[in-house]
């Protein structure tokens, strides 16, 4: 309204109603016109500034509110957050450990965290809950952990500030590093995710560990994939691992070299675990046994690969409970790190162990066991194995782990798959005949 009124006033001054007066008052009129013109323009300018300031204040306020909401929703830190971390890290047994478990929302991470908490160790988890596979399964695992008193921080291991804060709040005695980008075939679609998690993330974590005081002992998940194209069986820790068959394997092999470097330079106690095809309840949906189960139930065909000369692929399938025993045994026997403030004060342990079942089973035999427990016949589509990074067989020599860790797997594939199928049918709402349960 104010700008329109000012414009009308300006028009009235420039167009007088009496032409005779115009000549007589021309000079004085010009002065008045000029003054009012500047006055009117100044008023408009002030109004514009006011509106701009008001708009900016409004937008800033809402931006502050939105930022605050996002901060409250996804951020870490603060008194309440620190209290949750400390409570979760408290030990409840004599000589108990305080363990930071990375990848706690993952398959192995969840089981290891539960086992440690159950026996009285302090456990704090961290996971970024990415969408490599269904995040709802990871969130369900998180809920399971929370029900048992394990606090899981939602964050990325590449966040050096978050890791520094965690080590500032808790003097962790051990780190169980299980966070990683898993899967052999997915590397052909998203190679950068493997470098981000398995190499950059590992280095960021080791940097945090080396500067921590005291330094924690580090146990981390390597992989049987590092054996790559090795044809000597069973695979032993002393075998050469310089022929990776996939980018995933290459990043895990790189991880072994990187951890050795931090052990040598900074005195970090390092234990690397080469897992062999882990399966069981709460498993990963991208694994063959999991996807086979889903497709068999739904009446969809499954793809079964075979190797050269039509030889069946074989895997050293290892049940999750046995893997957990190996992880916990590694934590229990890990020697102390010898550095302080990033400076090495003496040699520290560097170990690598195979954790497998040492009884390879062919993939067709696996399918037959699933058919038995599901009471449904699979529609098999057998094709030659493509060049996607998979290897024809895996077979673990576990004598080193047996001697040093007391590791002894006790679950055969028949028993393990029976437990997995029972969990699967319950979790996804099927009855024992693999029919959906109506809710």
Query: What is the 3-state secondary structure of 271-334?
Result: EEEEECCEECCCCCCCCHHHHHHHHHHCCCEEEEEECHHHCECEECCEEHHHHHHHHHHHHHHC
Per-residue pLDDT at 413 exceeds 80? yes
Considering only residues 47 and 98, tell me which one the structure prediction assigns the higher pLDDT.
98
Digit-coded pLDDT (tens) for 25-38: 444 444 455 444 44
- pLDDT band (50, 70, 90) for residue 435: low
56 within domain boundaries? no
Of 13-17, 157-161, 181-185, the range with the highest mean pLDDT is 157-161
Mean pLDDT score, 347-359: 97
Identify the CATH number of the domain in which residue 202 sits: 3.40.50.720
Question: Residue 126 pairs with which residues in a beta bridge?
Answer: 102, 153
Q: How far is CA 361 from CA 14, 308, 392, 393, 428, in A?
A: 99, 17, 12, 9, 27
* Geometric angle at alpha carbon 299, from 298 and 302, rounded to 5°: 100
- pLDDT band (50, 70, 90) for residue 423: very high
Q: Give the structural domain span for 230.
A: 74-279+318-357+394-411
Task: Quote the CA–CA distance of 69 and 77 in Å, as a whole number.
Answer: 15
In this predicted structure, what is the pLDDT of residue 185?
Answer: 85
Per-residue pLDDT at 9 exceeds 70? no
248 within domain boundaries? yes
For 314, list phi and psi in degrees, rounded to 5.
-135, 145
**Structural Rg of the chain based on CA atoms:** 33
Number of domains in the chain: 1
CB within 8 A of 390, min separation 6: which ones?
184, 185, 245, 246, 305, 313
CA-CA-CA-CA dihedral for 251, 360, 290, 369, to nearest 10: 180
Window from 3-12, 25-34, 188-197 with minimum mean pLDDT? 3-12
380 within domain boundaries? no
Digit-coded pLDDT (tens) for 202-230: 999 999 999 999 999 999 999 999 999 99
In this predicted structure, what is the pLDDT of residue 352?
Answer: 98
37 within domain boundaries? no
CA-CA-CA-CA dihedral for 405, 325, 355, 333, to nearest 10: -30
In this predicted structure, what is the pLDDT of residue 187?
Answer: 87
Q: Name the percent of the chain lying above pLDDT 70.
A: 80
In this predicted structure, what is the pLDDT of residue 265?
Answer: 97
Task: Quote the CA–CA distance of 189 and 179 in Å, as a whole number.
Answer: 20
Q: How far is CA 27 from CA 18, 31, 240, 270, 298, in A?
A: 16, 7, 102, 95, 96
- pLDDT band (50, 70, 90) for residue 341: confident
Considering only residues 11 and 366, tell me which one the structure prediction assigns the higher pLDDT.
366
| 3-state secondary structure at position 340 | strand
Digit-coded pLDDT (tens) for 243-263: 999 999 999 999 999 999 999
Return the structure tokens found at 382.
């057998």
Return the structure tokens found at 29.
């009129």
**Can 279 be counted among the known catalytic residues?**
no
Return the structure tokens found at 422.
């029972």
292 within domain boundaries? no
Per-residue pLDDT at 393 exceeds 60? yes
Q: Which of 191, 177, 178 is nearest to 251 (CA)?
A: 191
Mean pLDDT of the chain: 86
Digit-coded pLDDT (tens) for 84-141: 999 999 999 999 999 999 999 999 999 999 999 999 999 999 999 999 999 999 999 9
Predicted TM-score (pTM) of this structure: 0.82
247 within domain boundaries? yes
- pLDDT band (50, 70, 90) for residue 72: very low
299 within domain boundaries? no
Task: Quote the CA–CA distance of 181 and 375 in Å, as a whole number.
Answer: 34
102 within domain boundaries? yes
Of 56-60, 182-186, 289-293, the range with the highest mean pLDDT is 289-293
- pLDDT band (50, 70, 90) for residue 234: very high
Return the structure tokens found at 416.
């393990």
The active-site residue out of 248, 279, 289, 319 is: 248
In this predicted structure, what is the pLDDT of residue 386?
Answer: 79
Q: Which of 411, 272, 401 is nearest to 326 (CA)?
A: 401
């Amino acid at each position: 309204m104010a700008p329109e009124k000012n414009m009308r006033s300006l028009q009235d001054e420039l167009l007088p109603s009496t032409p005779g007066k115009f000549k007589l008052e021309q000079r004085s009129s010009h002065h008045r016109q000029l003054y009012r013109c500047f006055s009117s323009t100044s008023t408009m300018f002030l109004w514009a500034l006011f509106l701009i300031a008001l708009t900016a204040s409004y937008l800033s306020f809402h931006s502050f509110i939105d930022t605050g909401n996002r901060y409250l929703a996804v951020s870490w830190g603060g008194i309440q957050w620190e209290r949750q971390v400390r409570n979760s890290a408290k030990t409840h047994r004599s000589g108990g450990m305080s363990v930071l478990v990375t990848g706690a929302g993952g398959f192995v991470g969840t089981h290891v965290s539960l086992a440690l908490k159950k026996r009285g160790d302090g456990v704090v988890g961290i996971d970024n809950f990415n969408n490599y596979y269904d995040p709802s399964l990871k969130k369900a695992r998180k809920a399971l952990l929370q029900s048992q008193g394990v606090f899981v921080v939602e964050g990325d291991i590449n966040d050096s500030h978050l890791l520094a804060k965690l080590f500032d709040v808790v003097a962790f005695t051990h780190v169980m590093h299980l966070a990683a980008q898993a899967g052999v075939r997915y590397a052909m679609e998203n190679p950068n995710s493997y470098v981000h998690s398995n190499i950059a993330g590992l280095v960021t974590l080791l940097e945090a560990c080396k500067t921590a005081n005291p330094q924690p002992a580090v146990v981390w998940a390597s992989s049987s994939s590092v054996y790559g194209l090795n044809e000597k069986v069973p695979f032993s820790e002393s075998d050469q691992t310089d022929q990776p068959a996939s980018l995933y394997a290459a990043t895990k092999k790189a991880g072994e070299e990187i951890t050795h470097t931090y052990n040598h330079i900074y005195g970090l106690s390092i234990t690397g675990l080469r897992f062999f095809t882990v399966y069981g309840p709460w498993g990963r949906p991208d694994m063959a046994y999991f996807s086979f189960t889903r497709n068999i139930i739904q009446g969809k065909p499954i793809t079964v690969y075979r190797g050269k000369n039509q030889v069946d692929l074989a895997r050293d399938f290892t049940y999750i409970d046995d893997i957990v025993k190996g992880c916990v045994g590694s934590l229990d026997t890990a020697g102390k790190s010898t550095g302080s403030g990033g400076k090495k004060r003496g040699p520290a342990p560097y170990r690598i162990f195979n954790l497998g079942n040492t009884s390879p089973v062919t993939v067709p035999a696996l399918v037959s066991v699933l058919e038995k427990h599901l009471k449904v016949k699979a529609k098999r589509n057998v094709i030659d194995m493509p060049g996607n990074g998979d290897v024809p067989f895996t077979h673990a020599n576990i004598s080193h782990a047996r001697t040093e860790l007391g590791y002894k797997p006790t679950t055969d594939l028949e028993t393990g798959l029976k437990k997995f199928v029972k969990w699967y049918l319950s979790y996804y709402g099927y009855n024992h005949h693999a029919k959906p349960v109506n809710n």
